[in-house]
Amino acid sequence: MHQSKWIILTIIIACQLIVVLDASIMVTAMPQIGRSLHMSTTSLTWVQNSYILAFGGFLLLGARAGDLLGRRRILGIGIGLFSLTSLLAGMAPTAEFLLVSRAFQGFAAALATPAALALLSATFVEAQERSRAIAMYSAVSAAGGSIGLILGGFFTDFISWRVGMFINLPIGIALLYLVLRFIQKTSTRTGRFDLWGAIVSVMGMTALVFGFVHAADQGWGKPETWISLAAGIVLLAAFVLIEARVTEPIIPLRLFASRQRSGAYLGRFLMVCGNFSLFFFIPQYLQNVLGCSSLEAGLAFLPFTGAQFGMMYLMHGLVHRFGNIKVLMTGLLFAIIGTLWMSRIVSVQAQFFPQMFILLTIMGIGAGMVFQPLTVLGLSEVDPHDSGAASGLINVAHQSGSSLGLAVLITVFNVAIRTDQPSKMQFAHGVSESILGSVIFITLALVVTFFCFVPSSQPARKQGLTDS
């Protein structure tokens, strides 16, 4: 691989890392954030959701902006805005200021991420180089949550949770310089922004997440819960109608004409619904039940992270020998087995080593085998004019799964504990039930994979989908 390509890949991976990392870096810091800004447990969930919802909701608009205004320009704007809003979030004097800053962080990430992925596709056109580049990109995307937990725990225990936001500023400035220095200007074209589509999609997802979070906090009997859920469904249906009618939609519905691509998007959504929520519940269990510190709770995910990065070096050979579909299904089976076993051992008497250590390793291997094939299949046979929208849709599936999966499983957790002040035994039971919910999501991802890919695996091989 040429040196200039390595530099571009480094820029893209670093950009993706700080964006994904910020979705989890606050998790181990939640108790300190709550004390310093006087936030309740329910309001703390929005520290993550305000970021994730804005990120996922505006990704398609960000992808469209890259297509129309040039991907280098949008990547630079996204990185610059992300750095500024990170500084504001770290300086937040009130809860409201923090939540607004986190939402703008998510918007900035929505500009930078699809532009970076589209640049990766345009830079690495040779099959072997692209496979290696996507493997590294996918490993960073998947492991960023684990790294965020560790960094968040370290800063919380030894300095302050605010440092997790401040570090983005020097990194962002360095990345902005590298983008302007090493990435060439990309072409622009005329067109329109589907602003209403973006706004309606964000409102719909926010209403759905609010409905589940409100149910977790106030119960299913409250009219606000059902009104919010109904509004979310109606708004998302309206979004589909808007996309079907506008001249230049942010998400061309023709992308779903391919069963393989549709399966890749849905499979990623379901996998992340189950996988991301583990990063929330397991650290809480380690701290509240087993008495670990914030840093110890973050370090506990090293087996998971290490296994994911280890798979990055094996994926090229595995995909070359067995194809994307077989590797994907094997990875999902690993993830299901490890997560199911984890749900059964979580208790007051459980110990981290050796059982949790081994299971987190198995789960990390599974996750490390899943995301690269899903990325390749999600970009398969996409028209060059739709590459930005396709890359944006991959990330939309990822972020939507993060927010909605967590909202659903928080509801499962609260139903299981049935009290505002759970004992250690009750808390452990709630975490166990939530992890079991993760198993259901990942199993559904396996079912989707089977029905969308296995019946047509032979034609897919001829098209280069299984070996790309």
Distance CA 120, CA 9 (A): 7
Place of tokens 């701290």: 287
Query: Are the C-beta atoms of residues 148 and 283 closer than 8 Å to each other?
Result: no
Distance CA 220, CA 377 (A): 38
Report CA 337 to chain centroid distance, whole Å.
22
- The CA angle 329-279-297, to the nearest 5 degrees, is 130
Give the HSE-up count for residue 394: Cα atoms under 13 Å, Cβ half-sphere. 30
User: Is residue 455 over pLDDT 80?
Assistant: no
Structure tokens at 300: 């506990």
Beta-carbon contacts of residue 14 (< 8 Å; ≥ 6 apart): 171, 175
| pLDDT confidence of residue 1 | 52
Using a pLDDT cut of 70, give the percent of the chain over it: 94
| pLDDT confidence of residue 142 | 64
User: Is residue 326 over pLDDT 90?
Assistant: yes
Poorest-pLDDT segment among 128-142, 203-217, 360-374: 128-142
pLDDT digits (tens, 9 = 90+) for 280-290: 889 889 988 99
Tell me which residue of 86, 83, 58, 74 sits closest to 179, measured CA to CA: 74
265 CB neighbour count, 10 Å cutoff: 24
Distance CA 301, CA 153 (A): 11
pLDDT band at 467 (very low <50, low <70, confident <90, very high): very low
| pLDDT confidence of residue 385 | 73
Structure tokens at 53: 């919802």
Average pLDDT over residues 142-148: 74
Place of tokens 């790294």: 147
Beta-carbon contacts of residue 277 (< 8 Å; ≥ 6 apart): 405, 406, 409, 434, 437, 438
pLDDT digits (tens, 9 = 90+) for 197-225: 888 988 998 898 888 888 877 778 889 99
Distance CA 359, CA 253 (A): 39
SS3 of residue 409 by DSSP: helix
Query: Are the C-beta atoms of residues 222 and 214 closer than 8 Å to each other?
Result: yes
User: Is residue 457 over pLDDT 50?
Assistant: no
199 CB neighbour count, 10 Å cutoff: 16
